[in-house]
Amino acid sequence: MKNIRVIITIAILIIAFILIILIKTPSPKEQFNQEVNVPPLRNLTCLETCDGSKACIEQCNTIIINQAVLLKDLNKCNEIEDEVSNNLCRDKVTFTLAVLNKDIARCNNIINIELKDLCNNLAK
Look up the pTM and report it.
0.65
Closest CA to 73 of 94, 45, 102: 94
105-124 confidence digits (pLDDT tens): 999 999 999 999 999 999 88
- Alpha-carbon span 100 to 123, nearest angstrom: 7
Domain boundaries, the chain: 51-122
Stated as kind and residue range, the H or E segment containing 97 is helix 83-100
Predicted local confidence at residue 39, as pLDDT: 67
33-65 confidence digits (pLDDT tens): 555 566 677 888 888 899 889 999 999 999 999
